[in-house]
């Protein structure tokens, strides 16, 4: 469909607005010409094409280019690549043709931005394969990732026009990978907006509720900030410091996350904002010294909380973030976080990598800083021989959103690791061979297990042995991507060697008996040795876990007596869903989604979140079983699955369900008193007429806590129980647990 005259006016206006932004990056006529050339090529390539919202498609690359300039701070080549980023995918133009018109660098960037699923010829997730290809461009040009983040930001800003299953796929990808990636690249403002937009479309009611409450409390918050800031402003002026001070409200997503994590209402979150001081540094005094001087001035007024000082001035975060954070006791007995940073630190905090690179070039420094070190680790991970793109993505994600600790080698060299890391993680961070041969560690000169968690400030020496080798259970004791991948690589190689060794042993034994190792033979052997397949049998045999001492007896026995019978319990489907895949329509339904008949694909309740009727749900088609797993829309596992297998997400909803009960679990906590357990049981079984399956309570120091496993008919029943139990005298907390307790 051709663009209308109104469309052409809109396109022209948006492009003029982009050119206005380009004034800060274009140095000569050649820069202007290449941007205009890219625009006209993109406009021609996307001619007549519209987005889901109905607007001309060309507005999307224009918007991405504007984000790249205004919100990330990149230059001319990045703007050109942004304008062309969908041209190869959506038209007949090739990367080679782009190279001839715009040069090899821009062609390489466009190639990195072009969506190519299945590049690695594996049968894993196309989404994970695509992410891997995009991340591989980190080895060549970080700008490609930054443009991709700008592309995702604009897609999130215009997500309202997409259907619900697409929204879940895109928001899951965003929260699982793009927001952490933006954080790691130092794009704090973009990371925050991506998180907020994900929440807005995934949980619109909660998002709107928090937004309204922030709005309602704005005046009271502004008065408090004004009162808090007044003496600080006076003291800073007395000391001749050029500065700006402001109060920054926490993002809606971070507030929501804290409410979920701590199971508390909005009213119980007291750190809704932070005070930020940005100063213009004096050329005669080091920035670090000025940060600590300002800290001293503030703590002369307000008493600090000693355990809440965060010194990212002397030890910056891996994404380049530098600042001094302190929490002080303000008026009305309220703790307030104060962030102190120079203008340079502020630019890096807001613009991330682009600002980091600009300042590094300005100082003509060849020193490897924190960002360079992280990038080097990423490139090492990207070059590792990982075949499974889903494993790669999970491992890579672990390098993004982590609270860091700083530990030291015996010679005093500092190393950054994620919080929760063990001595074994440290060993692999030193070198793969050190990790593979580790048998123990000296932590602060005291011998400890290699599985011991380490803390900031620890000095660690790894004890190695040539006879040591990684074991499968090591994977449970490491957190870093490098450690996990190194262990997996070793085990994979070791397993393959064991399989080959085991196969040789078995075939040699069979030759002694004159037997050909056929399928009939394995139908006897595998059950006898409790192995599910040949590889497992060979691997255990090669590793010495199994022996062939009794193999002759196994082979002589009647095959019928040795075949293990596996029984499965087929539950009658106690619920009915509406699925987006059926062609029949439910009469009188308030939804456009069709009903599922008894012959349609089976539904199974996901154990990870255990939804019950009334919970908002979404379906995930399991390719191996053909069944649809029913997840709550808030399920973390669903977010992971949707981020990697978005094409398997299908919209469903509860429809008519039989009058039966569903297992659910609530956690309770309170002050122990005589008879409180009887009160809880009497309320649930007597007054509310619900069946309790299991009740587990522990009491210590006058406090009791535990969980109750019970059967309810729907979400209304569960909410009623939570409300009523919460009113029992002595009960402090009642909350629903996400999944099933083992």
Burial 357-388 (b: 16+ CB within 10 A, else e): beebeeeeeeeeebbeebbebbeebbeeebeb
- The pair phi, psi for residue 454, each rounded to 5°, is -110, 160
DSSP 8-state class, residue 650: E
Name the H helices within 242-337. 252-262, 287-301
Comparing CA positions, the residue from 685, 579, 664, 573 lying closest to residue 615 is 664
Active-site position among 89, 218, 268, 387: 89
Q: For 183-216, give the DSSP string.
A: HHTT-HHHHHHHHHHHHHHHSHHHHHHHHHHHHH
DSSP 8-state class, residue 735: E
Rg of the chain taking only CA atoms, in angstroms: 30
Q: Which residues pair with 246 in a beta bridge?
A: 276
Comparing CA positions, the residue from 181, 172, 152 lying closest to residue 642 is 172
- In angstroms, the CA 257 to CA 403 distance is 16
Per the CB < 8 A criterion, the answer to whether 191 and 350 are in contact is no
Exposed/middle/buried for 330, CB within 10 Å: 0-12, 13-18, 19+?
Answer: buried
How far is the CA of 273 from the CAs of 171, 190, 222, 675, in angstroms? Answer: 26, 18, 10, 43
- In angstroms, the CA 708 to CA 445 distance is 46
Comparing CA positions, the residue from 177, 167, 155 lying closest to residue 202 is 167
Which runs of E-coded beta strand occur in 1-108?
Answer: none
First-to-last alpha carbon distance for the chain, in angstroms, is: 57
Comparing CA positions, the residue from 524, 512, 523, 508 lying closest to residue 556 is 524
DSSP element (H, E) containing 310: strand 310-311
Per the CB < 8 A criterion, the answer to whether 222 and 215 are in contact is no
Comparing CA positions, the residue from 420, 423, 419 lying closest to residue 461 is 423
- In angstroms, the CA 506 to CA 148 distance is 53
DSSP 8-state class, residue 480: S
- In angstroms, the CA 353 to CA 612 distance is 45
Active-site position among 31, 55, 90, 141: 90
- In angstroms, the CA 677 to CA 565 distance is 44
- In angstroms, the CA 716 to CA 712 distance is 9
| 90 given a catalytic annotation | yes
Residue recorded with tokens 């660098």:
105
Residue recorded with tokens 């469903």:
652
Pairing relation of β-strands 273-279 and 335-342?
Answer: parallel
- In angstroms, the CA 377 to CA 135 distance is 13
DSSP element (H, E) containing 336: strand 335-342
- In angstroms, the CA 426 to CA 459 distance is 11
Active site residues: 89-90
């Amino acid at each position: 469909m051709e663009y209308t005259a109104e469309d052409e006016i809109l396109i022209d206006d948006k492009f003029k607005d982009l050119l206005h932004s380009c004034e800060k990056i274009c140095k000569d006529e050649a820069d202007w010409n290449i941007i205009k050339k890219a625009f006209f090529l993109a406009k021609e390539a996307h001619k007549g094409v519209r987005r889901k919202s109905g607007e001309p498609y060309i507005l999307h690359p224009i918007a991405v280019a504007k984000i790249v300039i205004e919100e990330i701070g990149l230059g001319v080549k990045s703007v050109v690549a942004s304008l062309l980023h969908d041209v190869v995918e959506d038209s007949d133009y090739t990367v080679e043709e782009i190279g001839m018109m715009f040069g090899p660098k821009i062609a390489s960037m466009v190639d990195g931005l072009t969506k190519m699923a299945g590049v690695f010829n594996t049968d894993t997730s196309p989404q994970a394969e695509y992410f891997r290809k995009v991340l591989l461009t980190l080895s060549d040009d970080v700008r490609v990732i930054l443009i991709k983040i700008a592309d995702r930001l604009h897609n999130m800003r215009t997500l309202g026009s997409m259907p619900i299953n697409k929204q879940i796929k895109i928001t899951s990808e965003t929260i699982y990978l793009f927001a952490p990636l933006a954080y790691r690249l130092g794009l704090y403002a973009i990371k925050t907006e991506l998180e907020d937009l994900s929440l807005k479309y995934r949980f619109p009611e909660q998002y709107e509720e928090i937004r309204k409450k922030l709005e309602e409390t704005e005046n009271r918050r502004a008065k408090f900030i004004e009162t808090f800031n007044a003496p600080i402003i006076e003291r800073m002026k007395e000391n001749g410091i050029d500065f700006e001070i402001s109060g920054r409200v926490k993002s809606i997503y971070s507030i929501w996350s804290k409410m979920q994590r701590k199971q508390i209402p909005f009213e119980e979150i007291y750190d809704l904002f932070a005070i930020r001081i940005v100063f213009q540094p004096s050329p005669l005094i080091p920035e670090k010294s000025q940060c600590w001087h300002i800290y001293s001035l503030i703590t002369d007024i307000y008493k600090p909380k000693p355990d809440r000082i965060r010194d990212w001035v002397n030890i910056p975060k891996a994404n380049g973030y530098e600042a001094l954070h302190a929490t002080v006791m303000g008026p009305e007995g309220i703790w307030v976080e104060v962030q102190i940073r120079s203008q340079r630190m502020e630019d890096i905090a807001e613009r991330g990598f682009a600002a980091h690179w600009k300042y590094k070039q300005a100082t003509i420094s060849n020193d490897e800083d924190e960002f360079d070190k992280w990038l080097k680790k990423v490139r090492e991970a990207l070059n590792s021989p990982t075949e499974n793109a889903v494993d790669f993505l999970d491992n890579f994600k672990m390098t993004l959103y982590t609270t860091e600790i700083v530990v030291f080698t015996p010679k005093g060299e500092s190393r950054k690791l994620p919080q929760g890391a063990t001595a074994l993680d440290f060993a692999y961070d030193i070198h793969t061979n050190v990790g593979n041969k580790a048998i123990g560690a000296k932590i602060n000169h005291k011998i400890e297990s290699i599985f011991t968690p380490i803390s900031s400030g620890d000095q660690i020496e790894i004890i190695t042995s040539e006879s040591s080798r990684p074991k499968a259970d090591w994977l449970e004791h490491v957190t870093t991507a490098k450690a996990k991948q190194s262990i997996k690589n070793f085990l994979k190689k070791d397993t393959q060697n064991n399989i080959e060794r085991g196969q040789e042993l078995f075939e040699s034994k069979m030759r002694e008996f004159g037997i050909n190792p056929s399928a009939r033979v394995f139908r006897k052997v595998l059950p006898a040795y409790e192995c599910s397949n040949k590889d497992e049998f060979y691997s255990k045999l090669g590793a010495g876990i199994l022996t062939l001492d009794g193999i002759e007896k196994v082979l002589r026995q009647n095959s019928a007596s040795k075949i293990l019978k596996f029984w499965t319990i087929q539950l009658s489907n106690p619920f009915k869903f509406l699925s987006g895949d059926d062609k029949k329509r439910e009469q009188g339904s308030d939804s456009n989604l069709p009903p599922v008949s008894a012959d349609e694909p089976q539904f199974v309740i996901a154990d990870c979140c255990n939804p019950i009727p009334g919970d908002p749900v979404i379906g995930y088609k399991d390719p191996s079983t053909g069944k649809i797993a029913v997840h709550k829309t808030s399920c973390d596992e669903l977010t992971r699955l949707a981020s990697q297998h978005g094409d398997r997400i299908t919209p469903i909803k509860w429809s008519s369900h039989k009058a039966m009960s569903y297992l659910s679990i609530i956690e309770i906590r309170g002050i122990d008193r005589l008879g409180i357990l009887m009160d809880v049981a009497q309320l649930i079984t007597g007054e509310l007429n619900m069946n309790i399956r299991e009740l587990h309570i522990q009491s210590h120091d006058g406090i009791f806590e535990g969980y109750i496993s019970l059967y309810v008919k729907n979400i209304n029943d569960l909410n009623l129980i939570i409300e009523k139990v919460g009113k029992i005298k002595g009960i402090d907390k009642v909350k629903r647990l996400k999944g099933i307790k083992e």
